[in-house]
Amino acid sequence: MTASPLATATPSLDALWMPFTANKAYKARPRLLVSAKDMHYRTDDGRTILDGTAGLWCVNAGHCRQPIIDAMMQAASTLDYAPSFQMGHPAMFALADALRRVLPAGLDRVFLSGSGSEAVDSALKIALAYHQARGEPERCHFVGRQKGYHGVGFGGISVGGLENNRKAFAKQLLPHTHHLPHTHDLAHNAFSVGQPAWGAHLADALEEIIAAEGAAHIAAVIVEPVSGSAGVLIPPVGYLERLRALCTQHGILLIFDEVITGFGRVGAPFAAQHFGVTPDIITTAKGLTNAAVPMGATCVRGDIYDTVVNASPRGIELFHGYTYSGHPLAAAAGLAALTLYEQEGLLTRAATLAPVWSAALHSLRDAPHVIDIRTIGLIGGIELAVRDDTIGARGFDVFTNAFHEQDALIRVTGDTIALSPPLIISEAQIDELVGKVRRAIEAVG
């Protein structure tokens, strides 16, 4: 791992307003990463950090993988940028075509964007455009879920259900949004391995929304098949099937937000395949390029594309797109990442490792203040008891202890430690990571 030139510089931290960060606390005690390779980061003070989170659920093949670097360098020196409005370049078409190899059958049209948030907003707009093209423009309500995370666009935070992400903007969210109850219930489901047995009936809340609003007004239901940002919530057995059945029955589009679950995280290319439930639209990003360049994708059923495109006799059919839709560098990274995932069996490796992973994580059950552990594929949530009514205080202390004292990057949301390592993690590294997490939890006490 070679150090970046920035490793020796000491930049002022003042100018940057950091995203989703306690800016004052961070700037008082920064955590700077200067290079990375495979399973590890290197810090500005020369420490090697085990990556327990694949960056931010995104570096699925591990860091700085040579085939992806080579593809990006080749792309950058050949075609730095090409407009994608009324123009194109081969790699963007090749990527969309290649994604069909791994998407669920039937979801074979791909709209490219620059992030997960953009993929979600694109999905919501496509859903509205589709119903309008079908002659049902009054289908304009959206149904999300409490504790859902769908990025930070106004569409995403409107259908999302994380109150902290909405409260400062609450007066200007999208109208006509409704929320299903979340499925987090320790009284019934604590310490489950894989899908919890209890909770399929929570999907029936959709029937109540349909009864209240009228099915003919509802455009789409959007959920994360496994939610990460809310602290790892795994769908109860039968829950997604029930949502699928209700949506089909009432002509409502079902959108799976697979920004974190796409590209092998739960043991199949997409969670839809793992759970055997096919939505009408999948949003994805992150692992799409192994996070080497930002990119998002909204993948839709062929007839959704056909309906919208054929509804316009001429001219632009969907007035939507981004300057960076299908950016050449991102398209090249996406193609190289997909090839690497396939060559190394990473799209299904999480299924093979899941028993080892879940046994290792559940061994933390006796660690102090652990009140739940949830695992699926290569995802793990370890929920700690709230300290002194201050939500997130204990979790944040464990996070900083893990980074500064144990040389591990973990993620916490509230008091839940969320682990999602690169899919190349070895069994020995799983044990090492769990050991570091245990020591951090014990140190914080």
Ligand X SMILES: Cc1ncc(COP(=O)(O)O)c(C=O)c1O
Q: Which residues bind ligand X (CB under 6 A)?
A: 115-117, 120, 149-151, 224, 228-229, 257, 259-260, 285
Query: Between 271 and 424, whose beta carbon lies closer to ligand X?
Result: 271
Query: Between 240 and 441, whose beta carbon lies closer to ligand X?
Result: 240
**Hey, how many other C-beta atoms are within 10 angstroms of the C-beta on 399?**
20
Residues 146 and 229: beta-carbon distance below 8 Å: no
Closest approach of Cβ 159 to ligand X, in Å?
A: 10
Q: In what order do the strands lie in the sheet with 253-257?
A: 107-113, 296-301, 281-284, 253-257, 218-223, 141-145, 177-180
Closest approach of Cβ 257 to ligand X, in Å?
A: 4
Closest approach of Cβ 150 to ligand X, in Å?
A: 5
Query: Between 224 and 280, whose beta carbon lies closer to ligand X?
Result: 224
Q: Quickly tell me which residue has 């792309």 as its tokens.
A: 75
d(CA 145, CA 147): 6
Query: Between 120 and 433, whose beta carbon lies closer to ligand X?
Result: 120
Closest approach of Cβ 173 to ligand X, in Å?
A: 16
Closest approach of Cβ 163 to ligand X, in Å?
A: 16
Q: Which residue is nearest to ligand X (CB)?
A: 116
Q: Which residues pair with 233 in a beta bridge?
A: 227
Closest approach of Cβ 2 to ligand X, in Å?
A: 27
Tell me the H-state helices in 29-182.
54-57, 66-78, 90-99, 116-133, 154-159, 163-166
Closest approach of Cβ 96 to ligand X, in Å?
A: 19
Q: Quickly tell me which residue has 């020591």 as its tokens.
A: 439
d(CA 375, CA 385): 18
Query: Between 224 and 415, whose beta carbon lies closer to ligand X?
Result: 224
Q: Which residues pair with 144 in a beta bridge?
A: 179
The tokens for 150 are: 């769908």
**Hey, how many other C-beta atoms are within 10 angstroms of the C-beta on 33?**
17
d(CA 363, CA 198): 23
Query: Between 115 and 278, whose beta carbon lies closer to ligand X?
Result: 115
Q: Please give the C-alpha separations between residue 160 and each of 153, 154, 261, in angstroms, as whole numbers.
A: 10, 10, 17
Closest approach of Cβ 153 to ligand X, in Å?
A: 8
Please report, as a single letter, which amino acid is at residue 386.
V
Query: Between 65 and 150, whose beta carbon lies closer to ligand X?
Result: 150
Give 85's contacts (C-beta < 8 A, 6+ positions apart).
321
d(CA 272, CA 228): 16
Closest approach of Cβ 333 to ligand X, in Å?
A: 14
d(CA 111, CA 255): 14
Query: Between 121 and 432, whose beta carbon lies closer to ligand X?
Result: 121
**Which parts of 272-312 are beta strand (E)?**
281-284, 296-301
Q: Please give the C-alpha separations between residue 219 and each of 20, 240, 282, in angstroms, as whole numbers.
A: 30, 18, 15
Query: Between 57 and 130, whose beta carbon lies closer to ligand X?
Result: 57
Query: Between 145 and 150, whose beta carbon lies closer to ligand X?
Result: 150
d(CA 75, CA 69): 10
Q: Which residues pair with 301 in a beta bridge?
A: 107
Closest approach of Cβ 115 to ligand X, in Å?
A: 4
